[in-house]
Amino acid sequence: MSTNKRWLSVFAAVLMSGAAVAYAGEVPASFDAKNCKAEYPKASLMNEEQGTVSMMFLVKADGTVADSKVEKSSGFKNLDKAAIKAISACKFKPGTKDGAPAETWTKVDYAWKLD
């Protein structure tokens, strides 16, 4: 089957883990996964690469990303880079500390899957 005709689906989920909540009264940032998707890298499509990348994002009080890092690789550098780049460009709902918008770390798992 031609790569161009293959149906693709990418699933993203924000996981609120204990590691993301460092202090009592802190709620990590979140984003709308339906409106924030990464484009499948062409080389990864051709090589039929799939996997889930676990990332951490430091989200400022204004909802923009200040820093990001890969916690666990998908096993493919192109998929990891594409996920970090796309999610870093997304507008997040800021996290809060004691009810006020604040800079917080949040965990995001992004699953790349070919159908």
Per-residue pLDDT tens digits of the chain, which is 115 residues long: 444 434 444 444 433 333 444 455 889 999 888 888 899 999 999 999 999 999 999 999 999 999 999 999 999 999 999 999 999 999 999 999 988 999 999 999 999 999 8
Residue with tokens 């149906």: 7
40-112 CATH, one of 1.10.3720.10, 3.40.47.10, 3.30.1150.10, 3.40.190.10:
3.30.1150.10
- pLDDT at 35 (0 to 100): 85
- For residue 73, give Cα distances in angstroms to 7, 32, 70, 81, 112: 24, 22, 6, 10, 12
pLDDT score of 47: 97
pTM assigned to the model: 0.78
